[in-house]
Structures are given as C-alpha cells and as structure tokens.
Structure 1
Amino acid sequence: MMGRSHALSGWCAGLAVAPLVGLTSVAEMVPFAAATAGYALLPDLDHQGASAARLLGPITRLVSGAVRAFSGVLYRLTKGPRDEEGTGKHRHATHTLVAAVLLGFLAASLGDRGKWAVLAVAVTGFVLAADVLGDWVVLAVLAAAGWSVTGVGPGPSVADAVQAGLTQIGGWIGAAVAVGMFVHCLGDSLTRSGCPWLWPLPIRGETWYEIRLPRPLRFSTGHWFEHVVIVPILTVGGVLLLPGAVQLLQHLFDATTVWLAGQS
C-alpha cells in the first residue's frame, strides 16, 4: 500500500487547490488540506489490508467487503472485450474519476447543509489522514485555528475559528473529497499496475484501461523509490505550500545573509 504517499499527495493537493476555490485563510486551508489527505486514502477501501479498511475494525471491514463486491459486479457488467479476466475488486470502481466526482458531489451536498455536516465529512478525512500520517494532522488543524485568532484580542476562541473555517469551506468540502480521490488515482498511475481512472471510456478494447507511465518510469508499490524520493519530495512540498511558509523561509534566509555579512 502507498498509504503515506497517497496521504501526503492529498495534503499537497489540498493546499494547492484551496486558494483556487477561494479558501485563503489558515483556518480554511489547513482543514481543507487535512480532509483532502484523508480522502486520498479512501479508494483503497476496496483492499482489505488497507488502512481505510482496517480503521474501525469489523465496521470498515464490512464496508470494504461491500465495496469489493460492488466493484466486482460492476467490472463484470462493463468490461470490454480486451479487459483481463480478473475479479475487478481492487483498483477498479473506487479508482475512477467517476467515483471521485460522484462522491465529491455527495459530500458537497452535505456540506451545503451547514457547518456540522461539513464537520462530519471533514473529521472523517482527518481520522483517515491521522491513521497514516499521525496525530500531527489533527494538531495542525487546531494550530491553524489558534494561529488565525492570535492577536485579535478577547472574542473569538480556537473553537470559534474552527467553526468559522468550516462554515467558509461549506460545500467546497466536496472538492476535498474529489481531489483527494483523484490524486490517489494519479499516484497509482505511477506504479506498474496502473489505474483505470478513465473508466468507462473505451481504450484499445478495454473499458478498464490502466493508465500508467512508460515502462522504464514505473515502480512497484512499496519500492525504495517511493520511500527515498517520492515521500521526501511530498513532505517538503507539503511544508512549502503552507500559507506563509515561503515568505517565512525568505525572511530567515535574508536574516541569515545579513548576520553572515556582519560576521565577515
């Protein structure tokens, strides 16, 4: 499983997409990115060994079994003449752009019902992300809310900031779900198995055509390349995309340059 890579790529994508949908404050961007990180793990609910399937024990295992069964039936009903004779249970129904868009619209409709609906969808993403990346994800959300009210004097609390951020996110929580799931598909397209995220578009006689990189560029799940190259790059990117991070680094660089000049 590429759990850590998927979650980190979701985090980066969330931070990059948030400003595009008008979410620009720290209290909005960080919860949005945390939710996107969690939903970047959701497609692997069709694998019983994935973190999403093991998260709540027998409950999520039961859901995983239902998802696998549905995916298998859908595969048999829609496979093309050149699709392989597989079960269609893993990397199929949940690993498509169609699934990402549909679940995104569902989450968006829930998000339009108010901050508590947004909270329910967002917390699900937070829990999924924290299970793979660690509790720092939840702490980051609380810290972002705390940062947003620092220096404003008496009045809004961290809880108020969290609620305000969720209210501003609103139906855009659906974008976090859709973007997270699609980023997962793109990540799987880097591997040797590929990902059929363009279903049901027929390609070369296959409706479940696996999109993947040219053969020399592919790697296996869990390969050293993922841990040594991809995870570090995503980690650095996830820090640099935080609001104000680049400016802070620039200030530190300028201050260091001035200090070194004074020492010479």
Structure 2
Amino acid sequence: MNGRAHALMGAITQAPVIALTGDIPTGIGLVLLATAAGLAPDLDHRGRTLPKKLLGPLGRPVSWLARAASSVAREATATGPDRSSWAWYQANRGIHPDHRALTHTTAAAIMAGVFTGVVALMLGWTPLAGLAVFMGWMSQVLSDGCTSMGVPLLWPLKVKGRRWYMVSFMRLRSGASSDWWVAWAWTGAFSALAVVLY
C-alpha cells in the first residue's frame, strides 16, 4: 500500500482515544505518533515514504538496519517450509524476503508500543503514547495483510509448520486504487467508533 494511505490509517486510529479522553492537545501528539508508526513498518524498504522522504540522509542506514534485523530474525527462526517459500518468492516474484518480515509482525508492533510507552512515562508524558504507536503500527501491518503478498502477522508462532507464514486477508494488489478503498473503510470504522465513544 502507499505511504499516504498508511499515514491516514495510522492517524485515524487515535480518534476513539481522543473521544474517550477528551484531551485535544495530548490527542494531537498521539495522532502524530500514530501517523509515524503507521509508516514505520516500511523502514525495511528504503524506497518507501519514511526512510526515503522523511528520514533524509538517515533513511538508507536505518532501512539497512531494519532489513539486517529482519534477516537475522528470519535466519534464526526459519523452518524448512519457510526457507522453501522464500526461495519461491525470490525466484518467481522478485520480492526481497526481508521486506515485510520482522517489521510487519504483531510482535514488532507490541515491542514498539511498549518501548514508546516506557519512554513516555520516563519523560512524564502519557503512557497512551505506547498505545498510539502500537495502533498506528498495526494499521500498516493489517492493511498490508490485505494484499496478495500478505504479512507474517503471527511470527514467531508457527502456522502450517512455518513461523514466517504470510497471512493475506483479501489478496488485493498493492499500489492500486484498492489501497484507498481499504484506507477509507478503515477511516470510516475508526471514525464511527469515535462517535460512539464520544
């Protein structure tokens, strides 16, 4: 999916949180965090919005580190069926196995959220910052899970003998107008939830 759709989906996850707390100034900070977190899983792809456009000269090394971490995690936890599926992807689809790997897991979203929440508490800010990062991060993971490539949503748990099992909910083509249909449906759902909670 494209960066603007991911940013929108990350931002809108905070509408229900703002509706519940009623704290607009804090809510603006949470929206900014969730927007960045909605782009963060694509750190493993140096051509995407966050590493290429928003991080400037730091984009390439940060992207390299994300891919390296994915590669280490993949090699350390892969099963035999995982290895044969990566060979197929590389040979037949030109997909690098370290994109949509570690950064596109629920585990990564949880770790990023917990880390952010702890840092926020240490700095005297709301622990909702951790929730904002988790929700924004998961918005990208779940939306990328709507594409035909899918995401390793449940890593490190095994699914069908594979830890890196690619979950795909809808099989949409990434980069097409379907990106916006998913983004607008997501936005509508979170907006409706905010109205109900308000």
Compute the TM-score of the two structures, normalised by the length of structure 2.
0.82
How far 1:5 moved relative to its partner? Answer: 1.6
Percent identical pairs in the alignment equals 30
How far 1:96 moved relative to its partner? Answer: 0.9
Partner of residue 94, structure 1? 103
The CA RMSD measured in Å over matched residues stands at: 2.5
1:23 partner amino acid: T
Superposed counterparts of 1:224-235, under 5 Å: 224-227=177-180, 229-234=181-186
1:226 partner amino acid: D
Partner of residue 113, structure 1? 122
SS in 2 for 1:196: coil
Residue deviations 1:195-243, cap 9 Å, x none?
A: 1120011011110111112xxx42111112223x334445666776777
Separation in 2 of the partners of 1:239 and 1:182?
17
How far 1:13 moved relative to its partner? Answer: 1.3
Separation in 2 of the partners of 1:56 and 1:71?
20
Partner of residue 2, structure 1? 2
Label 1:237 to 1:206 Cα distance change in 2 as closer, same or farther (>3 A).
Answer: closer
Partner of residue 86, structure 2? 85
Partner of residue 51, structure 1? 49
Partner of residue 31, structure 2? 33
Partner of residue 181, structure 1? 137
SS in 2 for 1:94: helix
SS in 1 for 2:103: coil
Residue deviations 1:168-188, cap 9 Å, x none?
A: xx2221111111111211111
Separation in 2 of the partners of 1:103 and 1:230?
24
Residue deviations 1:53-74, cap 9 Å, x none?
A: 1122221211111110121121
Separation in 2 of the partners of 1:223 and 1:98?
28
Superposed counterparts of 1:63-78, under 5 Å: 63-78=62-77
Separation in 1 of the partners of 2:177 and 2:114?
36
Separation in 2 of the partners of 1:52 and 1:113?
26
Partner of residue 155, structure 2? 199
State whether residues 189 and 211 of structure 1, in contact with CA within 8 Å, keep that contact through their aligned partners in structure 2.
yes
Separation in 2 of the partners of 1:107 and 1:198?
21
Q: 1:23 aligns with which of 21, 42, 65?
A: 21
2:66 partner amino acid: V
Partner of residue 12, structure 2? 12
Aligned residues: 187
Structure of larger gyration radius? 1
